[in-house]
Chains A and B, each alone.
Chain A
Amino acid sequence: MNNFVIEIWDDEGNACIFYTVRWEDAQYSETDKFFIKYGDDNHKYHKEARELAYLISEVIGNRYGAIDDFIDRVKNKGHALPPKPKKSIHEIESLGVHFPLRLYCYRINNKCLILFNGGIKDERTDQQSKDISAKFYDLQSFVNRIEDALRDGILVYNGKLQRRH
């Protein structure tokens, strides 16, 4: 895995700051790549991508934070958005069981979430889904390196994520 940088994706909300990762030589972050691809007017899931962007930025970022109600889809060491279907009522199922997209993330705490890339989940597992299997393995590598950096004190969280020099 090449070098990547962690940078702010959205810190305007009152409840949670979002970071993302960007390969050192890349123009766009991994999360921007996800939304550029799936949020494009011509993509069949552009409506879903926009709903997901709004869920992240407004609902999690500005209102509730990264609480368990939303960060409940465990993917080995990381998580995926949107949250699991809440099957007891039909109204809130459509962003869960029928939702075709997954965006991977890693929660530092309720106020800090690192977003990665994602894709279309069209098989029973992420690993079987052609569009996201590579992103799933990237997630594990990203999280391993971030956890190492946090454990070694290279990366510290004190209200914001910062690299210790």
Chain B
Amino acid sequence: MKSKVLRDLLAKTPAESKIFVELYADIVVRVNQLIREKGYGSQKALAEKMGKKPSEISKWLSGNHNFTLRSLAKLTAELGEPVINVPKRHTFHLHSEKTVSMTVYRNEGAKATGAFRSAVSVSSPQSKSKVA
């Protein structure tokens, strides 16, 4: 059972907010997981390892910068593994002359176990099917 108050509140929560919270949580878990695996010890140690000047580190640690995609890119480069993945769609032709688009998702719902899951959705003009 769920509290009725909670149920009502979740029903009123827009999809955008839910997606934001999910991304937030996935990134928190992913970054912490990589920091532990790579033996940095702390997030500050990670920032220092990234060769930033003290003032830059301070700015970095306070989050007062606008280059959010850049910060994710730097983090990914330093940690050596992806923090987030963007689904990629590939279109190719089959012998039957059908055109098939395939979207590949990685790191979807990474759990505390660190396990990766993959899901592939395949669609074509004739048939819309999904394989997971």
Contacts and interface: CB of A to CB of B under 8 A. Distances in A.
Interface residues of B, number: 38
Interface residues of A, number: 43
B104 interface: no
Contacts of A29: 3
Contact of B61 (A8, A35, A88): A88
Contacts of B81: none
Contacts, number: 122
Contact of A83 (B12, B28, B60): B28
A87 B63 contact: yes
A59 B12 contact: no
Interface in B1-35: 1-3, 5-6, 9-10, 12-13, 17-18, 20-25, 27-29, 31-32
Contacts of B1: 8, 10-12
A51 B14 CA distance: 9
Contact of A53 (B10, B46, B65): B10
Interface string A37-61: 0010100000101110111011100
A93 B63 contact: yes
A89 B63 contact: yes
A117 interface: no
A74 interface: no
17 contacts: A8-B1, A9-B2, A10-B3, A32-B3, A32-B5, A39-B5, A39-B12, A51-B20, A54-B21, A57-B2, A59-B22, A59-B25, A64-B25, A65-B112, A69-B32, A90-B66, A92-B27
Interface of A: 8-12, 20, 28-29, 31-32, 35-36, 39, 41, 47, 49-51, 53-55, 57-59, 63-65, 67, 69-70, 83, 85-95, 97
